Structure 1
Amino acid sequence: MRPLTVFQAVAALAVGVRLARGRDRLPPLAPVGATAGRISVVIPARDEEGRIGPCLSAVLADPAVAEVLVVDDESGDGTARLAADLGAKVVVGAPLPEGWVGKQWALLQGIEAAGGDIVVTLDADARPAPGLFGALATALDGYDLVSAGPRFVCGGIAEQALHASFLATLVYRSGPIGPSSAPAPHRVMANGQCMAFRRTAMLSAGGFGRVRGHMTDDVALARTLAADGWAVGFLDAGGLLEVDMHESAAEVWREWGRSLPLRDVTGPGRQAADLAAIWLTAALPVLRLAAGRPTRLDLGLLAVRLLLAGALRGSYTRPGPGVLLSPLLDPLTAVRLTQATLRPVRNWRGRTYPRGRTCPKGTAAGVTTGDRPDRPGRAGRPAPPARSAAR
């Protein structure tokens, strides 16, 4: 047996084990109305005048939300004015300190200004449905940190195909959303477009300060806190949350491809193994099929990939043929992941950030193991079992 075939078989086994976790996924979040806790929604915003309106309108209309805070991160447009006109409380962001990425700095200021027991952070391109915030608050009965997986709004075949190909790489590397059992801290995933936690616990843990320099802030935060012992849940909220991230396939390639390798939250060894797995199990079978020389293993992997494409249709608001055609773009996706891994981009929203630390061996997301705050359960409430969030 050729060495490449052996490596491909090993990679296929690893991917198969991750995909198999989908057999025991937690059910999607169901809408919940009134809750016991007071909910504050914090939205970091930098030059979001063109798209924050629908998000704010939906949040302000939800009776479960006690207050909505928009942290205006030195916007050059009318973001703050629009937010105030719609009825949100505007927090004028302080100048960005050295060593901080803008989003983490804005979120910290919003959390400090919030008055609710529970904080939900939301990106300006999110579109929440009624019942989302109550569902997230209820999920915190079983978790210390929850993030919500949305349905994506993608227009056009090319944009949807590329987006679905990128999304498939996350599933290949980390397994499906909503695992019933917690993965190891270094495999924990999260979606920073929508996160929920208890305010005092997050401030006590210093969460956003500990990941201040990370471009992949959401996964860095989740892995850091999971290593502390926090129960972290990544739950399916597709029926309650939509996100319109990009306007074209070119923007998907440029913007999402920038962060998708998870370079600053994954150690070099695991990153190399994950990248090799994508090349061997997703890209290589398509290339061999195009050359008319697929092996039986290639054909089996292509069948698995097509099944995944079918499953991913539920991740889109209006799934079209692009999702099913997405396996054809897997070689391009592998190229983009390799490019962003070798030449990471640290530009975002008109700012350029210096290169930060990569994840050291034996720690989570570049945070050292010393002087970790206690998990919330030790600070005042018993830590409940993770599965209880499925109620």
Structure 2
Amino acid sequence: MPRSPTLRQLRRAYHAAALGFLVLKGLTLLVNAFSFPRLRPQALPASGPRVSILVPARDEAHNLPLTLPGLLAQGAAEVLVLDDASSDDTARIARELGARVLDGQPLPDGWYGKPWACEQLGRAASGDILIFTDADVSWKPGALGAVLHELDARRADLLTVLPKPERLTLGARFLTPLVDAVVLCYLPYPLVRWPSPWLSSANGQLMAFRRVAWEGLGGHGGVRAEMLEDTQLARRLKARGGRLTLALGRDAVGVTMYPSYPASTAGFGKNSLAIHLHSRPLLLLSMLWHLAVYTLPWLIPAPPWLRLAGLLERTLVNLVTGRRRPLDLAEGLLGPLTPLLALPAYRRALARRVSWKGRSYRQK
């Protein structure tokens, strides 16, 4: 039985919309492949600003032995670790490894955990450059020199870095590397230099501020109740006329963000509503659209190019970020499954409350 003209028109419209979406993302990725800054390990300058490296830590005893020695070896004037009411040996391990440890104060009303921890660290720090970095971030030799060079070369008030995912378990590979794909496929780096606050992105895993800029924002106080405090800080900075830049960590900075698939869904679920402008309809539309573009073509008759584009995207992103081992490149095969694997994160994001590291937060 021949298909009706209406059905043919709908199929053509669907294919055209999916093609336009994938082409736009592909062009954005191409622009970023040539323009997005990369950190390159290098020695510290003979003279330069005083640098404070600041680590908010809550139940990070499993990460600190892997990451803190490399951080302490960078040559910063001080490395401060704030123990945020940990239930494990975070404070003891940090002290034994040689960091100066601050005992976090109780969480005040109206504050989320990480902004409050960073606010205390910033107040206690003595540096002209304040670098906030997570306990799961690995700093390689020469990383601090690379960060300072990039901050100066771009004449920026804030440099935020996308560390290269490393030591990923099979389950963590399902969703965790999508952090890079979101930034590199949706925001062309040249637009980051434009003054519009909405053309901003940031990654709280590593944010290097000039102290005067951080203090000019009121520290983390202005984002005290934001789950996506990193991007909100970047937007506030640009709104005040500050300069923002981003960089890929490549061989200088790595991260093991989530140890498993359940941890990934919890982490993405925590942030997803804020990423979608706190709009649940937009979040649902995003979920359905990604299912339509990446998964549906494998369930119904579809042009081969549509399936191929969905398979190639993650592989190309990994090439840009420097993840070129066979298992890294094979992540592209997850393209059709990724929207399905993300469904638990979407469900978590739609809830009125989310939990993270033993604390519960009401979503807007």
Specify every segment of 5 or more residues in structure 1 that has no aligned partner in the other structure, as ranges: 358-391
Separation in 1 of the partners of 2:14 and 2:187? 20
Does the CA contact (< 8 Å) of 1:105 and 1:208 recur in 2? yes
Match of 2:358 in 1: 350
Higher relative contact order (CA 8 A, sep 6+): 1
Are 1:151 and 2:164 matched, yes or no? yes
Partner of residue 327, structure 2: 320
Q: CA RMSD in A?
A: 2.7
Structure 1 residue aligned with 2:244, among 218, 232, 235? 232
Q: Is the 8 A contact 2:67 2:139 kept in 1?
A: yes
| Structure 2 match to 1:253 | 265
Q: Please show how residues 277-356 of structure 1 align to structure 2 within 5 Å.
A: 277-285=289-297, 289=298, 291=299, 293-296=300-303, 299-314=304-319, 315=321, 316=323, 320=327, 322-343=330-351, 345-355=353-363
When structure 1 is superposed on structure 2, of 103-112 and 25-34 the one drifting more is: 25-34
The answer as to 2:116 corresponding to 1:105 is yes
The verdict on how the C-alpha distance between 1:320 and 1:6 changes in structure 2, with shifts beyond 3 A counting, is same
For 1:15 and 1:197, the matched residues in 2 are separated by 35
**Structure 1: which amino acid aligns with 2:331?**
V
CA distance in 2, matches of 1:295, 1:149: 35
For 1:291-336, what per-residue CA distance to the aligned partner results, in whole angstroms no more than 9, with x for missing partners? 3x3322xx33322222222223344485516513221322314524
Contact 1:127 1:243 in 2 (8 A): yes
SS of 2:227's equivalent in the other structure is coil
Determine the structure 1 residue equivalent to 2:60: 48
Superposed, which structure 2 residues align to 1:158-197 within 5 Å? 158-164=171-177, 166-167=178-179, 170-171=182-183, 174-175=186-187, 179-182=189-192, 184-197=196-209
Partner of residue 76, structure 1: 87
The equivalent position to 2:216 in structure 1, one of 182, 204, 217, is 204
- Whether the aligned pair in 2 keeps the contact of 1:147 and 1:191 (CA below 8 Å) is yes
| Deviation for aligned residue 1:38 | 1.3
Q: Which moved more, 1:319-328 or 1:76-85?
A: 319-328
Q: Shift of residue 104 of structure 1?
A: 0.6
> What is the distance in 2 between the residues matched to 1:218 and 1:203?
15
2:77 match: secondary structure: strand
Closer, same or farther in 2 for the Cα pair 1:116/1:88, shift >3 Å?
same
Identify the residue that residue 22 of structure 1 maps to in structure 2: 29
CA distance in 1, matches of 2:180, 2:9: 27
- Report the residue type matching 2:172 in the other structure: E
Rounded to whole Å, the distance in 2 between the matches of 1:67 and 1:121 is 12
Displacement of 1:10 in angstroms is: 3.4
Residue number among 107, 121, 125 corresponding to 2:136 in the alignment: 125
Distance (Å, rounded) in 2 between the aligned partners of 1:279 and 1:186: 26
Change in 2 beyond 3 A, CA 1:148/1:344: farther
Q: Distance in 2 between matches of 1:31 and 1:307?
A: 29
What is the TM-score with the length of structure 2 in the denominator? 0.84
Structure 1 residues 330, 47: CA separation in 2 closer, same or farther (over 3 Å shift)?
closer
Give distance in 2, aligned partners of 1:11 and 1:222.
31
2:52–2:128 contact (8 Å) kept in structure 1:
yes
Secondary structure in structure 2 of the residue aligned to 1:119: strand
Gaps of 5+ in 2: 1-7
Q: Is the 8 A contact 1:70 1:91 kept in 2?
A: yes
Name which of structure 1's ranges 193-202 and 151-160 shifts more when overlaid on structure 2. Answer: 151-160
Q: Answer yes or no: is the 8 Å Cα contact 2:29–2:317 preserved in 1.
A: no
Query: TM-score, structure 1 length as denominator?
Result: 0.79
- The answer to whether the 8 Å contact 1:32/1:131 transfers is yes
- 8 A contact 1:153–1:318 mirrored in 2: no
Residues 18 and 311 of structure 1: CA distance in aligned 2, closer, same or farther (over 3 Å)? closer
Q: Deviations over 1:112-156 (max 9, x none)?
A: 111110011111111111222222222222222111111112444
User: Take 1:109 and 1:42, find their aligned partners in 2: how far apart are those partners?
Assistant: 10
CA drift of 1:49 comes to: 1.4
**CA displacement at 1:7 relative to structure 2:** 5.4
Moved more, 275-284 or 68-77: 275-284
Query: Matched residues in 2 for 1:220 and 1:29: separation?
Result: 23
Q: What residue identity is the alignment partner of 1:69? A: L
Post-superposition offset of 1:21: 2.5
Q: How does 1:270-281 map to 2 (within 5 A)?
A: 271=283, 274-281=286-293
